[in-house]
Amino acid sequence: MVADEVHLLRDPDRGPTLEVTLTRLRRSFPELQVVALSATVGNASEVADWLDARLVASDFRPVPLRLGVYANGRILYPDLTDREVPPPGERSRGLSAP
C-alpha cells in the first residue's frame, strides 16, 4: 500500500484519521507492505520506527530550486538578476527554468 503525504500525521484534523487507518490496515493485514511518502515530514525516523520500516531518504531534485520573489510580472533573485514571467495563458516553460 502507498500512503502519500504522511506528514499529515501531525495535522490536528487529518492526522488522527490517517494514523488510525494505517494502524488498522497493518493489524488487519500483517504482511502488508507500506510505502509512506512525504517531501516535508520532519520526523521521518520516528515515522519509520512506528511503521517498523526502513527509512529511505533522498535529496535528489530533477530540477534545482531557486529562491526568488515574484512581483509585477517579474521574479527577482538574491543575486539581483531577474526575469519576466509571462501571464498564465502565455507560459511556455516552467517558472523553475533559469
pLDDT in tens, 26-73: 999 999 999 999 988 888 999 999 998 999 988 888 988 899 999 989
CB 66 within 8 A of CB 98: yes
With respect to residue 35, please indicate whether it lies within any of the assigned structural domains.
Answer: yes
pTM (predicted TM-score)? 0.61
With respect to residue 42, please indicate whether it lies within any of the assigned structural domains.
Answer: yes
Burial level of 42, CB count in 10 A (0-12/13-18/19+)?
exposed
With respect to residue 23, please indicate whether it lies within any of the assigned structural domains.
Answer: yes
Distance, in Å, from the CA atom of 59 to the CA atom of 79, rounded to the nearest integer, reads 24
With respect to residue 64, please indicate whether it lies within any of the assigned structural domains.
Answer: no
With respect to residue 28, please indicate whether it lies within any of the assigned structural domains.
Answer: yes
Checking if the pLDDT of 94 tops 80, the result is no
With respect to residue 92, please indicate whether it lies within any of the assigned structural domains.
Answer: no
What is the tally of structural domains in the chain?
1
With respect to residue 19, please indicate whether it lies within any of the assigned structural domains.
Answer: yes
Q: Which domain holds residue 19?
A: 2-50
Question: Measuring CA to CA, which residue among 76, 83, 5 is closest to residue 94?
Answer: 83
Ranked by mean pLDDT, the top range of 15-29, 41-55, 81-95 is 15-29
With respect to residue 94, please indicate whether it lies within any of the assigned structural domains.
Answer: no
